[in-house]
Structure formats: C-alpha cells, structure tokens
C-alpha cells in the first residue's frame, strides 16, 4: 500500500464508520427508541473452569462464533488479528502453522504456544491448523499457562471450543463460497435433538483452489489446495448439570508444493518461482474426544480423553532452482493419547469460609503418550555430493522414532476477600520420559552412518501468583507473576552431539486493568508485561543438511511490551473493535546461536508491533431483510527472519472488507481480503549454498475476492 494511503487509512475508516453509524443513531433518536445496548458477557475456559473474561487476571482475547462468522474465519490463524502481539508463521503447507505470542514461539514438534481443541492439547503443531467446523469460540490466552496446562504453554495457549449440539430444535446451515484462483467450497452442518436428553451434530466440508504461485519452468501453479473435512458430535445430558460429549473429526488434504523461492527474487517477481521439480504436501488428521462433566452442590468433576492421529507426506525441490540438484521426500506420522481428570468448586458457588472470605479451587492430573516417526530422504544428483561421485546419493536424515510419556498434577486456589480482592496461588508438577532412536546414513554408504538410541527424563514445577482487585463492579486491576516452561527433548535430525536439547523456562510479570464503561457499551483492557528466558530454545539451520532445522538452547532472552484492547457497541446494529500491541524481544548477554554471538539481536519472527481496527454495521431494509457490512485494517511492524538479523520484513498492513444481505433463512455476501494487494513475506529462513540471497521464503496471501451464499434453518 502506498505510504500516503497507509497514513490516511485510519481517517478513511473513521469517516466510513461515521457515515454508517450516524444514520442509525438518527433513526433511533427520531423514533424515540432508547434500547438497552450492552456488550454480551463472554465466558472463557482460559483457566480450565468457565469464567467471565473480564475477571481473569491475565490477557485473554475471546473470538466468539458470531465474530468468526462475521469475519469469514475458516482457520485459527485467520482470527489472530483480533488479539494483540499475536502472529502466525505459516507456510502454504497446512501442517506448518505456528502461533507466536509476545515473541515466544518454537518448532512444530515442540511448540511454545500450544493449541487445545476441546481440551485436548495438540502436542505437535502439524495437527493444530484445521478447518473450523461448528466452533463456538477461539481464545488467545497470552502469558505463561504452564501452572495449569504444563509443558509447552510457556507463551500461552490457543483454546478452540466446539459448539454444543442443540437440544431444543433442529438447526443447520449450508454455505458455498466462490472466489478467484478457481476457489470452490461447500460447507454444511446440522444439529438437533434425538430425544429429550440426547442431541447430535454433523458438519462436512470440501474445498479446492488453484495456486497463487506459478512455476516459470513448467507454467504450472504450485501451491494449489484440495481438502475434505468433517466433524460429528453426540451429546447426552442425563440430568441437569451433567453432560457427556463424544466428538470425532477428520481432515484430508491433498495440496501442491511449497511456494518457497529465493527471497530477493520473490520480492522482485512475486508469486513466481523457477524449479525443475514440482512436489506435493499431503496430510491426514483424525481425532476423537470424550468429554464428561458433572456439577454438584459442592464439587464439579471433569474428564477429558483425547486421541489424535496424523500423517503427512511431502516432496519438494530441495534446491528451489531450475537446476536438477536435489529433491526431498519426507514422511511423518504421530499417534497421541491424553487423559485429564479435574475436580473443582462449583462455578458460581465458591466455598464460603466466613462472611467476608470465600474460596475457589481446582485440582487435577493429566497423562499423555506420544509416538512419532519420521523418514526423510534427500536425493542428491550425480556429482553434486562430490565431483568424484557420479551416481545419485540418497541421504536418509532422519530415520527416527520418538516415544514420549508424561504426567502432571496441578492445583489452583483463589481466596476472595469481601467480593473485591482475589488472591490466586497455583502450581503444577510435570514429569516426562523421552526415548529416541535416531538414524542418519547414505545410500550408497560413502561415509559411515550414525545411530543414537537413548532416553532422557525431565521434571519441572511451574508456580503462579496473581492478585486482582475490583475497584468497582465494572473495573478491575491485576498483577501476576508466574513461570512457564517448554520440555526438553530429542531432535530427529541434527549435527552430531546436538541430538538432545534441554528444557526452556521463562518468568513472566504482568500487570493490567480491565473494565466496562458507558453503561456496558464499551469494554477496554490494558496490560504491560516483562518476560525473562533461561536456556531459550531456538530453531537453527543444520549446516550439513539443506532445508533442515533443529532445536538448540541458545541462552537468555528478554521481552517486554504493552497491549491495549477495545470493543464497543454505540448502537444496537454497530460493533467496533481495536487493539494494539508492542513487543521488544531481544537475545540476552552471552546468547550464542550456530556458533555466533547474537546478544542484543531481535528475536526472529516477532513483529515489533501489531494493531487492528474494525467495524461491523447492519441496517434493516425491510422487516425481513437486513443489509450488513464489515471492514478491518490490520498492521504489523518490522520483523527479523533470522537470529543474526541479516534479513527482515518491513512493516505492512492488510485491509479486509465484506458486505451483504440476509433474511431469516437466506444470506449472500461479497468480500475482499488484502484489498490493496499488499506484497509481503511473512515467513523466510536462512538457506545458504543454494540461493543467491542466502534466504528462501514465501509470499503472503495476495488479494482474494469472492462471493458466498447460503441458507440457514
């Protein structure tokens, strides 16, 4: 977007909001209406038990089903702009989608921000980015959640909740979006009762589109997509406050190749690459969850059982050039089982200790197992491995099998004084055993191969203390101090002597204020935070195997920043929101990555700021027909691509617009994403040896536009 337009964008949006809102306000005033307009109460499970988001002593952004539908959100990362200091490093391959909060992230196999789907942690990010079907809410919970959630919640969690099947009547929807790039999609769902105590829901979808990136050698598009997905639920409510749910889901993706290319060449000629080999990225994910919950007069019992199985297979041109130098095939698969049992005080009935003291509490235990296998083969052309080797060389790196077992016990207690002061103390103890068999070898065996067979154990206790004070019924201040951790483990592939890595810990201090104003029409929150890492884990390139990364402990780091969020309903048919976040994330003294001192450098993949401003407006055309419109502008600050800070993405902005018409049963809308066709590179990484710039990356999604039509009942 041109600089002048970027500077004027807030003014343009504000003017547009005034034009849209003023007639509605005049209509209401002239008709003598004085409706009671308030923002809805939002209940979250950011601390496992349901609670009003306004009274959580931490930073939580909840995106409800209405906001998801209004913004046209299809995957978790599409909704990230609602939350400040939130960024996803995302490839065209659906399996590679990694959330980052406040500068905290990690590799897919050891995430720093873990995604929970219906209470089940996705222990590997390969299964976290799925099509959203019957989702009631997404919560971006920033700050360390290890005192309750344990491993790999050092930076926070993404909490995805499925909608409960309808017990009262049958409802459903069918929508068919069509867009440029030959994008076609259909999604349908139905939900309703089978009896007074049993309900079901079923959702199905299918999508496909052409690629955005063209291969100049063949003329083909590379990053096309094709997917089929579904979810089914069965809910049994034997009596009031008791519920059992079984949720099964599956997704099958048959997509094109990575859209990776030399960073400088991509910027000179966006969405164009030149390579002699075109590959593919395939993924299959299956999951089953059993959720049990019973609320008694003195205690609430919850059980969550989860099975997740996924397989991926991909092939690509490893040199990403027209030369026939190297290709790569990679197959991964994983099976995980998780079980959590929790007891807690009733949601709205804390234990009364005296007239002025009450106690909320929860305690639980969790265990998991995870098996992971990977077989990756780099096929190197004759005379490339060595001028004296005239046959293809197959580099098996890795041929690996990893098995994990872990358990954790946790507890949290909140002492409530005079219904105004909350003192929360919590802690969690985690233990893990990790076994690995790691093989690396060549065919033909030009040099000796290697094999590592070993095991490690890790233990950690994560503490938490938080203090919240309600200045008024609608205004709260809070402070918290807690520790998060990421487990250590094994690298499937790495240089010799770097197969294992140690756990990472970080202390977080946060203070903030939350409140509602203007008779409940406005909500606002502000937070400041400081993070101090020890033994920070970082994905670094393997100098001996192209396109391969491994986790290493690089030393200390610091991050500090601020976050502001605002939501408002100035009129019954107008919704406004905005947020801004600033992050200053730097490596600490003595930090060493790939043998180089990186002290003082910016942590990669951490935008210096994020911001968003948006609005939704409705206007009745008749008693049965409503016109609606929505727009949002999203801003990202400069971001470094590597720990040496030798390549970066400058600040950029994106604008999304949609509008349409709906009646009780039918709706239609048109939409544009990235309306100004901003060119940007959201992900890139070092790739010395094969590419002129020493980096490869992928372009961000170009301008896309389309229409959607559907029916509801």
Sequence spans of domains, the chain: 1-34, 35-712
CA distances from 92 to 95, 332, 607, 682 (A): 9, 17, 20, 11
Nearest to 518 by CA among 14, 39, 63: 39
Which stretches in the chain have pLDDT values below 50?
Answer: 1-34
Fold of 35-712: Maltoporin; Chain A (2.40.170)
427-448 confidence digits (pLDDT tens): 999 999 999 999 999 999 999 9
Alpha-carbon span 677 to 1, nearest angstrom: 8
DSSP 3-state of 217: coil
CB 354 within 8 A of CB 107: no
CA distance between the termini of the chain: 41
CB 102 within 8 A of CB 585: yes
DSSP 3-state of 220: coil
* Strand partners of residue 661: 627, 668
Nearest to 244 by CA among 201, 309, 299, 199: 199
Range 168-174 contact pairs with CB under 8 angstroms and sequence separation of 24 or more: 168/193, 169/193, 170/713, 171/712, 171/713, 172/712, 172/713, 173/710, 173/711, 173/712, 173/713, 174/710, 174/711, 174/712
CA distances from 187 to 67, 117, 172, 260 (A): 18, 20, 11, 30
Give residues with Cβ within 8 angstroms of 354, minimum separation 6.
none
CA distances from 545 to 235, 440, 556, 702 (A): 49, 11, 27, 32
Nearest to 343 by CA among 298, 293, 305, 301: 301
CA distances from 391 to 176, 295, 396 (A): 51, 68, 16
pLDDT of residue 35: 53
DSSP 3-state of 318: coil
Alpha-carbon span 669 to 626, nearest angstrom: 12
Strand 113-117 versus strand 156-162 pairing type: parallel
CA distances from 472 to 513, 526, 584, 644 (A): 12, 17, 33, 48
CA distances from 181 to 214, 216, 362 (A): 12, 18, 50
DSSP 150: -
pLDDT of residue 463: 97
CB 303 within 8 A of CB 343: no
Alpha-carbon span 265 to 681, nearest angstrom: 12
CB 701 within 8 A of CB 709: no
pLDDT of residue 543: 82
Tokens of 211: 């690629």
- Report pTM: 0.93
Distance of CA 557 to the CA centre of its chain: 23
Nearest to 510 by CA among 532, 494, 488: 532
CB 491 within 8 A of CB 500: yes
Alpha-carbon span 369 to 367, nearest angstrom: 7
Work out the number of other CB atoms within 10 angstroms of the CB of residue 5: 12
Helix (H) or strand (E) holding 47: strand 43-47
Tokens of 662: 């709906």
pLDDT of residue 275: 93
């Amino acid at each position: 977007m041109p600089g002048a337009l970027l500077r004027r964008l807030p003014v343009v949006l504000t003017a547009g909001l005034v034009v849209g809102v003023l007639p509605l306000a005049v209509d209401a005033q002239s008709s003598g209406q004085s409706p009671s307009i308030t923002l809805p109460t939002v209940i979250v499970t950011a601390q496992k038990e349901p609670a009003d988001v306004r009274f959580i002593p931490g930073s939580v952004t909840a995106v409800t089903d209405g906001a998801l539908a209004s913004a046209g959100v299809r995957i978790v990362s599409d909704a990230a702009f609602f939350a400040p200091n939130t960024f996803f490093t995302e490839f065209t391959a659906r399996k590679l989608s990694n959330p980052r909060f406040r500068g905290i992230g990690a590799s897919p196999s050891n995430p720093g921000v873990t995604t929970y789907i219906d209470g089940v942690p996705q222990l590997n990010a390969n299964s976290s980015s799925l099509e959203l079907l019957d989702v009631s809410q997404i919560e971006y919970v920033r700050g360390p959640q290890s005192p309750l959630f344990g491993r790999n919640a050092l930076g926070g969690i993404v909490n995805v909740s499925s909608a409960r099947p309808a017990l009262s009547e049958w409802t459903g929807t069918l929508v068919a979006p069509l867009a440029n790039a030959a994008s076609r999609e259909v999604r349908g769902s139905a939900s309703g009762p089978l009896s007074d105590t049993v309900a079901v829901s079923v959702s199905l979808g299918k999508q496909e589109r052409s690629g955005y990136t063209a291969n100049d050698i063949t003329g083909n598009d590379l990053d096309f997509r094709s997917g089929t997905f579904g979810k089914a639920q069965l809910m049994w409510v034997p009596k009031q406050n008791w519920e059992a749910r079984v949720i099964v889901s599956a997704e099958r993706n048959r997509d094109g190749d990575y859209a990776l290319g030399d960073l400088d060449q991509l910027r000179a000629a966006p969405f164009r690459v030149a390579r002699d080999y075109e590959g593919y990225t395939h993924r299959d994910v299956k999951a089953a969850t059993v959720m049990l919950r019973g609320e008694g007069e003195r205690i609430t019992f919850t059980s969550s059982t989860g099975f997740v199985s996924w397989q991926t297979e991909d092939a690509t041109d490893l040199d990403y050039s027209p030369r026939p130098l190297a290709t790569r095939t990679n197959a991964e698969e994983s099976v995980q089982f998780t079980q959590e049992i929790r007891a807690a005080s009733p949601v709205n009935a804390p234990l009364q200790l005296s007239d002025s003291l009450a106690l909320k509490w929860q305690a639980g235990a969790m265990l998991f197992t995870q098996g992971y296998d990977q077989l990756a083969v780099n096929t190197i052309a004759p005379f490339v491995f060595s001028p004296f080797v005239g046959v293809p060389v197959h580099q098996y790196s890795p041929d690996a099998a990893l098995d994990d077992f872990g358990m954790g016990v946790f507890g949290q207690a909140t002492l409530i004084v005079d219904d105004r002061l909350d003192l929360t103390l919590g802690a969690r103890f985690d233990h893990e055993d990790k076994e690995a068999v790691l093989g690396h070898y060549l065919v033909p065996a030009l040099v000796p191969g290697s094999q590592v067979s070993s095991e490690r154990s890790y233990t950690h206790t994560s503490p938490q203390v938080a203090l919240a004070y309600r200045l008024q019924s609608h205004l709260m201040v809070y402070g918290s101090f807690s520790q998060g951790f990421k487990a250590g483990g094994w690298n499937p592939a790495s240089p010799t002597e770097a197969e294992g890595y140690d756990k990472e810990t970080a202390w977080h201090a946060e203070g903030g204020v939350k409140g509602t104003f203007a008779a409940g029409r406005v909500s606002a929150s502000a937070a400041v935070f400081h993070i101090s890492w020890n033994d920070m884990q970082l994905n670094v390139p393997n100098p001996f195997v192209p396109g391969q990364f491994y986790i290493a402990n690089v030393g200390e780091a610091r991050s500090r920043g601020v976050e502001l969020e605002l939501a408002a309903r100035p009129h019954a048919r107008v919704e406004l929101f905005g947020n801004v976040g600033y992050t200053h994330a730097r490596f600490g003294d003595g930090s060493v990555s790939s043998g180089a001192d990186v002290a003082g450098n910016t942590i990669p993949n951490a935008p210096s700021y994020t911001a968003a401003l948006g609005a939704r407006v409705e206007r009745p055309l008749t008693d049965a027909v409503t016109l609606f419109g929505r727009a949002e502008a999203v801003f990202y600050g400069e971001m470094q691509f590597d720990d040496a800070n030798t390549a970066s993405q400058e600040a950029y902005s994106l604008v999304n617009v949609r509008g349409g018409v709906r009646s009780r049963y039918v709706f239609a809308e048109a939409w544009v994403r990235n309306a100004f066709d901003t060119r940007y590179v959201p992900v890139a990484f070092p790739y010395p040896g094969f590419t002129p710039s020493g980096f490869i990356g992928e372009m961000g999604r170009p301008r896309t536009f389309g229409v959607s039509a559907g029916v509801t009942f």
